[in-house]
Structure formats: C-alpha cells, structure tokens
Structure 1
Amino acid sequence: MQTKLREMLKFPCFFTYKIIGLSKPELVDQIIRVIQIHIPGDYTPQVKSSHRGNYLSVSITICAKNFEQIEILYHEISQINMVRMVL
C-alpha cells in the first residue's frame, strides 16, 4: 500500500489527515502543534463531534514536500495520547 501511495503522489502536494480522538478541547491544539513542528503554516481543521459527543473527527490538510513528511506526521499524530485513529 505504501509503495502505491508513494507512486501516486506528486510532490509538493496537498494531503489530508482524518484523525479520530477523544472529545477534549486540547486535542486540536495538540494535533496542530505536532504539524507546526514539521510544516509551519496556518491550518484550519474541520472538526465534527460524534453522535454521543465522546469523540471528535478532525480533518486537516497539509502541503507535503515529500513522502517522508507524510509518514513522520502520521506516526507522530498517532502518538498523541487522545488520538484513537489516524487515516
């Protein structure tokens, strides 16, 4: 899968992460903080709450210069304690 994705993308490119995490106010700030370390910029995530309000869905688009940036951010966002899934 990784090889196919690497072949499909032409850099620089826009890449959207969808992150599912606990419904805590600091979740979005922590995600943006991780992204800012690697790709500084202005980000406007789209945030939706789950039906019961236990989880947040955060969609955020970055402009990646290479595939390694995509991989690093995927790994580091996954390490945030409140994050349950990164797509």
Structure 2
Amino acid sequence: MIDPKDSLIEYPCDFPLKIFGATQPDFAQAIAKVVQAHAPDFDSATIEMRSSSNAKYLSLTCTIRATSREQLDNLYRDLTAHPMVKMVL
C-alpha cells in the first residue's frame, strides 16, 4: 500500500489525462467509457480533441476529479491496456 504522504498530488483535485490513439470512429466514446468506469462523475462532453497534422492520430484530454492515487493508477492501467490507445500521459 502506498502512503498518501508519498504523493506530490493533494486529493481530491482536477487531473488532466492526455490519451493518444489512431484516428478511428468511436475512439472518444470508447475512451469516455473507460474513464467513466473510474471517475463516474466525468462528463464526456468536456473531452478536448486534437488531430495530428496529417489527421492520422487523435489526442484526447480528459480532466477528471481525482480522488486517490489508487484511482489514477487503475485508470492509467486500463487506458494503456486498451487496444485503441497508443500512449497515455
């Protein structure tokens, strides 16, 4: 178990996640489902989207209300394991 005092983040806080993947239909909806599984109060209407210059890739910024390090760790794990996701920052 990680001691909350070891974290540089004070919870709860707004925490932006940047998720990258190939441009494809339903990418944003699939990512929103994963995020909402860990942050039920996340509003998918707040997702910021940006295409790469050649429109081959799409980046999504999802800002959640993070409540714990465990929540963020689990969310990162699920996002990075998702077949549509190339990278999560």
Q: TM-score, normalised by structure 2?
A: 0.86
Deviant stretches of 4+, over 6 Å: none
Q: TM-score, normalised by structure 1?
A: 0.88
Which residues of structure 2 form unaligned runs of 5+?
none
- Aligned to 1:17, the other structure's residue is in SS state strand
Once residues 7 and 78 of structure 1 are traced to their aligned partners in structure 2, the CA distance between those partners, rounded to angstroms, is 21
Once residues 31 and 82 of structure 1 are traced to their aligned partners in structure 2, the CA distance between those partners, rounded to angstroms, is 9
Q: Are 1:60 and 2:58 matched, yes or no? A: no
Once residues 65 and 83 of structure 1 are traced to their aligned partners in structure 2, the CA distance between those partners, rounded to angstroms, is 23
**RMSD of equivalent CA atoms:** 1.4
Once residues 40 and 73 of structure 2 are traced to their aligned partners in structure 1, the CA distance between those partners, rounded to angstroms, is 16
Report the Cα offset of residue 8 of structure 1.
1.1
Which residues of structure 1 form unaligned runs of 5+?
none
Report the Cα offset of residue 7 of structure 1.
2.1
